Amino acid sequence: MFYREAGQFKTSYWADQSVFPILQDRIGLALILFAAFVLLPLSASDFFLSVVMVPFLIFALAAIGLNILTGYTGLLSLGTGGFMGVGAFACYKLTTLFPDVNIVIWILASGLFASGVGILFGLPSLRIKGFYLAVATLAAQFFLDWCFVRVPWLVNYNVSGAIEVPTRTLLGMPVTGPNATPQFRYLVILSIVTLLTWFASNLVHGRIGRSWMAVRDMDLAAELIGIKLYRTKLLAFAVSSYYCGVAGALMVFLWYGSAEPAVFGIDQSFFILFMVIIGGLGSLAGSFFGAALIYGLPIFMRSAVTAFGWQILPSTVEHLTFMTVGGLIIFFLIIEPNGLARLWQIGKQKMRVWPYPY
Amino acid sequence: MDLLYKVFIDPFVQMGTAPDLLVQTLWDGLVAGVLYSLIALGFVLIFKASGVFNFAQGIMVVFAALALVGLYDTLRRWGVPAGALAAYLALAVTIAVMFGLAFVIERVMLRPLVNQPDIILFMATFGLTYFLIGFGELVFGGDPKVMIAEQLGLPRGAIDIKMAGGFVSMQKIDIAAVIIVSLMVAALSFLFQRTRIGRALRAVADSHKAALSVGISLEHIWVVVWFAAGIVALATGIMWGARSEVSFSLQIIALKALPVLILGGFTSIPGAIIGGLIIGIGEKLGEFYWGPLLGSGIESWLAYFIALVFLLFRPQGLFGEKIIERI
Amino acid sequence: MLRELSVRAPTGPDVAAGDVLLAVEDVSLAFGGVKAVSGVSFDIRKGEIRAIIGPNGAGKTSMLNVINGFYQPQQGRIAFKGKTRAKMRPHEAAAGGIARTFQNVALFRGMSVLDNIMAGRTLKMHRSFFWQLLRHGPALREEVEHRLFVEEIIDFLKIQEIRRTPVGRLPYGLQKRVELGRALAMEPELLLLDEPMAGMNIEEKEDMSRFVLDVNDHYGTTIALIEHDMGVVMDLSDRVVVLDHGIKIADGTPAEVMRNQAVIDAYLGVAH
């Protein structure tokens, strides 16, 4: 009864093209943004911000990246971890070579390097389709894994083979390194993720998004209406890898504080892929849902164990988490292949007619 | 100039001057290739009969091997004397376990997803993989185990053959592996081509609906196929485990099967063998003769690059059917 | 039933004498050992409705695919708007002004009706990646501009109520209409319709025929259509080319073709 469009008429196509045409949706979005930018930093604990919100946002960003490639354009990619790594290492090299330039600029720039690598590994997409293309991304993943370990220049010849994040400041306050406060890190990440999500939403709702989806749904027909397949696919690789690269840079610089190359391995790629599958392929909101569920589940399970006082080993909890994630994926694929985003849409649909059943 | 020499001339010179090393490398490559084909075979079985790319094949290998070792230990604890009796008893029970696994997978995962597009089923096998990883670690524990190779009667030690001006060392277990795999491939080919159930399997691979309409029970076929893949997984687990150890890192090896399948085609049993051999030998040669140029460890991605290059020229693989898109 | 629609100008010298828009010259196409089309030549004149008919397996769809650029013929050439080519890629055909519908509707199932038709405007939308990132501003203005054009097509095809429905949910007849809409969105000079009436009932066929005629009259689009329903062919087309087993066996006005013995033999000429 509250979620009704009655009385909301669009009197121009301009208004109808808006991404959130229903007023209640716009209000909802405004509330969420207000809560995220204002309420949370003021009220949430350091733990919550550092351990829950920061990773959630970063994974959501990576999931958006993968979603653009796999969900919107239909190109299955198993190289997400590698692309994230490229962003992280690029950012590290840039900031150590040019320490005076603001770190946020380098974070955003590092995505471009990931983009370049993404385009490179997307080149085979002209000849290779569908499942076989996934193998090309797998090649990228393993090759990048190898590079991260075997090219000591990338970590500035650090003996440990890992990136160690130097302290950098923004607006006079430390934003990386041990002195950076969780609130500040959270706000910077939130701003970047919000901005990039807005860009992604714009792309996806316009001509480019339609081209991507056309390529996904029926590439022969897409060619017919004049879409240049190769360009569209490479653009998808470029944009997707950019998002993954920035997520990787954020992960190392504003979350972990250091990085071993193993962080960007095939397991990370699968992690993000599960987020996209469960959250909903082809949905930006789904990327957030999926990230929340897949990242949050182990934390939730661990907290539940301590809350209930069950005597379960942490390793056992981890095993149970694996089982639950695996089971959830199968469950979702059976019940709702379009993931949480579709369930959310169905929920909203029910809300519109509530209290009537249909 | 120097670089060109290093890449294009020097490796071949090395091959020529130390032919015994070349033969050794070729043999090692052959063995690796045979083992890759064994994994690939499991994929081919399931793909041939249900169109599903079973990503979980790798974890099934680990699971089967762990089950075998675990059952052997349990039998020993119950007082059965060490040796062949306990080993083969454990083997029999493990085979039953793999049947049970196939049955459960069919019921819980395959049946509800019966009409979904292949990509959905593929993603479901991701879920299956992670589930089995968690479950396996829970039940068997995460530390590496030793395969009961001796108890099963598999040979140990090596034969050194004098040839080509030096020595070539062949592990007896490797020779056994080659023989066992050849026998399995022959048996499976026979199964597919000559028996009634093989025909049914091929029918199901072609079209679920058509197979149903001639009265083939999809559910039975799937259980049979996943069970067969489970047996292959068990054999793989035994052979791989005997050469090193049984641990969860083995499941990553399964990803290596992908380049094999790309070369050999996803539905061809001989293709899996040939693909495996090409990848195995190519990898070993590449790593031994060209590896020092790039640094060690290139075998982690070399196979994929070989497959990738291949795909660019022949997108359907060596033996795969050329896909003609009908509009 | 379809007789009432024949209010259009009768086929006459004015249309028949129009410029040749597309000419197929001695085209042969084979798949492996199977010869789909052998040495076929015909032309399509500007502003006409040309029917391509023939029994099943005659090579009609293959012919359309060749014109479209999907299949490259082993032999022969296509001359379009004065330019002769041996090979043409589908997106080049699209850019040149050829649009097409399919027997088995080739819509983008994950998208709504509106998005599908808007996709047809892709070639006409030029705002760069940078503006697309911002959306508000030039990119959105362009969207709305093209939305206006698409809405005209939606009005024309009377599919206003379903514009936000995902196309996968629509009944077959409506899907075909949406596909026509998408083709029209490209503002094509030559529209290739592959069995636009297939699987339709009487009312749907009448509607579709009306649309085809209106497109030809109103937009001046040249149309080539493959069709099995003889009544439709007789009423809609200016000229007909008949294929059988990949060879052209007749070419002329509907009346001429229907009297042709070879055609009758090929078909046992019964109007549905």
In a shared domain, residues A186 and A326 = yes
* Interface contact C68-A224, CB threshold 8 A: yes
In a shared domain, residues A229 and A246 = yes
What does the alpha-carbon distance between residue B57 and residue B258 come to, in Å, rounded to a whole number? 11
What is the reported pLDDT for B315?
Answer: 67
Q: Which of residues 149-208 of C touch A (CB under 8 A)?
A: 151, 182, 186
Which chains have at least 3 CB atom pairs separated by less than 8 Å from chain B? A, C
Domain residues for the domain of B249 are 35-270
Closest residue on chain C to B325 (Cα): C70
In a shared domain, residues A86 and A197 = yes
CA distance C231 to chain A (A): 29
What does the alpha-carbon distance between residue C84 and residue C23 come to, in Å, rounded to a whole number? 9
Q: Which residues of A touch B134 (CB under 8 A)?
A: 318-326
Domain C1-97+188-272: assigned CATH number: 3.40.50.300
Q: Which residues of A touch C139 (CB under 8 A)?
A: 202, 206-207
Tokens 């362009």 locate to C142
Q: Which residues of C touch A16 (CB under 8 A)?
A: 147
* Interface contact B327-C65, CB threshold 8 A: yes
Span B148-202, pLDDT tens digits: 777 777 777 777 877 766 777 888 888 888 888 888 888 888 877 788 888 888 7
Cβ neighbours for B289, distance < 8 A, ≥ 6 positions apart = B11, B14, B15, B25
Which chains have at least 3 CB atom pairs separated by less than 8 Å from chain C? A, B
Q: Is the pLDDT of residue C12 over 70?
A: no
* Interface contact B295-A150, CB threshold 8 A: yes
More confident residue, C189 or A308: C189
In a shared domain, residues A35 and A120 = no
Domain residues for the domain of A185 are 44-353
In a shared domain, residues A260 and A334 = yes
Span A6-56, pLDDT tens digits: 666 677 777 777 777 777 778 888 888 988 898 888 888 888 888 899 999
* Interface contact C31-B324, CB threshold 8 A: yes
Amino acid, single-letter form, for residue B56: A
C88–A contact, CB cutoff 8 A: no
What does the alpha-carbon distance between residue B246 and residue B140 come to, in Å, rounded to a whole number? 11
Select from B116, B259, B308 the Cβ nearest to the Cβ of A337: B116
CA distance C56 to chain B (A): 15
CA distance A193 to chain B (A): 27
A333–B contact, CB cutoff 8 A: yes
Q: How confident is the model at residue C1 (pLDDT cuts 50, 70, 90)?
A: very low
By CB atoms closer than 10 A (0-12, 13-18, 19+), residue C179 is buried
* Interface contact C115-A235, CB threshold 8 A: no
Strand partners for A259:
A163
Q: What count of other Cβ atoms lies within 10 Å of the Cβ of residue C203?
A: 10
What is the reported pLDDT for C10?
Answer: 39
What is the reported pLDDT for A18?
Answer: 75
Q: What is the 3-state secondary structure (H, E, C) of chain C?
A: CCHHHCCCCCCCHHHHCCCEEEEEEEEEEEECCEEEEEEEEEEEECCCEEEEECCCCCCHHHHHHHHHCCCCCCEEEEEECCEEECCCCHHHHHHHCEEEECCCCCCCCCCEHHHHHHHCCHHHCCCCHHHHHHCCCHHHHHHHHHHHHHHHHHHHHCCHHHCCCEHHHCCHHHHHHHHHHHHHHCCCCEEEEECCCCCCCHHHHHHHHHHHHHHHHHHCCEEEEECCCHHHHHHHCCEEEEEECCEEEEEECHHHHHHCHHHHHHHCCCCC
CA distance A185 to chain B (A): 32
What does the alpha-carbon distance between residue C190 and residue C21 come to, in Å, rounded to a whole number? 8
- Bond preceding residue A355 cis, omega within 30 of 0: yes
* Interface contact A145-B109, CB threshold 8 A: no
Averaged pLDDT, B110-124:
81
By CB atoms closer than 10 A (0-12, 13-18, 19+), residue C58 is buried
What does the alpha-carbon distance between residue B186 and residue B193 come to, in Å, rounded to a whole number? 11
Q: Is the pLDDT of residue C267 over 70?
A: yes
CA distance A337 to chain B (A): 8
CA distance A79 to chain B (A): 13
C100–A contact, CB cutoff 8 A: yes
A320 part of a folded domain:
yes
In a shared domain, residues A32 and A106 = no
What does the alpha-carbon distance between residue C241 and residue C51 come to, in Å, rounded to a whole number? 6
More confident residue, A171 or C224: C224
Q: Which residues of C touch A12 (CB under 8 A)?
A: 144
Span B217-239, pLDDT tens digits: 888 888 988 998 999 999 988 88
What is the reported pLDDT for A6?
Answer: 65
CA distance C147 to chain A (A): 7
Element (H, E) at B242: helix B218-243
Which chains have at least 3 CB atom pairs separated by less than 8 Å from chain A? B, C
**Count of CB contacts below 8 A, A vs C?**
102
What secondary structure letter does DSSP report for B57?
H
In a shared domain, residues A324 and A342 = yes
CATH of the domain at A146: 1.10.3470
| Angle formed by the axes of helices B218-243 and B250-264, nearest 10° | 120
In a shared domain, residues A115 and A243 = yes
Averaged pLDDT, C123-134:
90
CB neighbour burial string for B309-320, b if at least 16 within 10 angstroms, e if fewer? ebbeeebebbbb
Helix locations, chain A, DSSP H = 13-16, 23-34, 40-43, 46-47, 54-66, 80-97, 103-122, 130-150, 182-205, 207-217, 219-224, 229-250, 266-279, 284-308, 314-335, 339-353
Q: Is the pLDDT of residue A77 over 60?
A: yes
* Interface contact C151-A13, CB threshold 8 A: yes
- Specify whether the CB–CB gap between B68 and B288 falls below 8 A: no
* Interface contact A220-B327, CB threshold 8 A: yes
Give which of B123, B260, B298 to mutate to test A binding, by max A Cβ within 10 Å.
B123
Q: Furthest-apart CA pair in chain C: how many Å? A: 64
What is the reported pLDDT for A314?
Answer: 75
What is the reported pLDDT for B316?
Answer: 65
Give which of C66, C91, C98, C145 to mutate to test A binding, by max A Cβ within 10 Å.
C91
CA distance B3 to chain A (A): 19
Greatest mean pLDDT among A24-28, A236-240, A257-261, C3-7 = A236-240
In a shared domain, residues A180 and A270 = yes
A14 part of a folded domain:
no
The model's pTM is: 0.87
Give which of B47, B130, B255 to mutate to test A binding, by max A Cβ within 10 Å.
B130
Domain limits, chain C = 1-97+188-272, 109-186
In a shared domain, residues A113 and A177 = yes
Averaged pLDDT, B124-135:
89
What is the reported pLDDT for C3?
Answer: 34
Q: Which residues of B touch C31 (CB under 8 A)?
A: 324
B288 part of a folded domain:
no
What does the alpha-carbon distance between residue A110 and residue A242 come to, in Å, rounded to a whole number? 8
Give which of C122, C123, C130 to mutate to test A binding, by max A Cβ within 10 Å.
C122
For chain B, give the mean pLDDT: 82
3-class DSSP state for residue A227? coil
CA distance B86 to chain A (A): 30
A358 part of a folded domain:
no
* Interface contact A282-C110, CB threshold 8 A: yes
Q: Using DSSP, how many helices (H) and how many strands (E) does chain B show?
A: 14, 2
Domain count for chain A, please give it. Answer: 2
* Interface contact B324-C65, CB threshold 8 A: no
Averaged pLDDT, C94-99:
91
Q: How confident is the model at residue A199 (pLDDT cuts 50, 70, 90)?
A: very high
Q: What are phi and psi of B284, to 5 degrees?
A: -65, -45
What does the alpha-carbon distance between residue A182 and residue A55 come to, in Å, rounded to a whole number? 12
Q: Which residues of B touch A316 (CB under 8 A)?
A: 138
B190–A contact, CB cutoff 8 A: no
By CB atoms closer than 10 A (0-12, 13-18, 19+), residue C8 is middle
Q: Is the pLDDT of residue A356 over 80?
A: no
What is the reported pLDDT for B113?
Answer: 85
Q: What count of other Cβ atoms lies within 10 Å of the Cβ of residue C44?
A: 25
- Specify whether the CB–CB gap between A276 and A337 falls below 8 A: no
Of A93, A134, A143, the C-alpha closest to A237 is: A134
Q: Of A117-121, B246-250, C153-157, C235-239, which gets the smallest average pLDDT? A: B246-250
Select from C94, C127, C132 the Cβ nearest to the Cβ of A224: C94
Written as six digits, the tokens of C5 are: 């629609």
Of C243, C184, C250, the C-alpha closest to C211 is: C184
CA distance C20 to chain B (A): 27
In a shared domain, residues A65 and A3 = no
Select from B120, B298, B304 the Cβ nearest to the Cβ of A333: B120
What does the alpha-carbon distance between residue C253 and residue C207 come to, in Å, rounded to a whole number? 24
Region of A157 (left: φ > 0; alpha: ψ -120 to 50; beta: rest) is left
Residues of A with CB under 8 A from a CB of C: 12-14, 16-17, 199, 201-203, 205-208, 210-211, 213-214, 216-218, 220-229, 235, 282
* Interface contact A124-B128, CB threshold 8 A: no
CA distance B302 to chain A (A): 8
Tokens 């840079």 locate to A249
In a shared domain, residues A2 and A51 = no
Q: Which residues of B touch C106 (CB under 8 A)?
A: 327
Q: Which residues of C touch A216 (CB under 8 A)?
A: 110
Domain count for chain B, please give it. Answer: 1
Q: Which residues of C touch B324 (CB under 8 A)?
A: 31
Q: Which residues of C touch B327 (CB under 8 A)?
A: 61, 65, 70, 102, 106
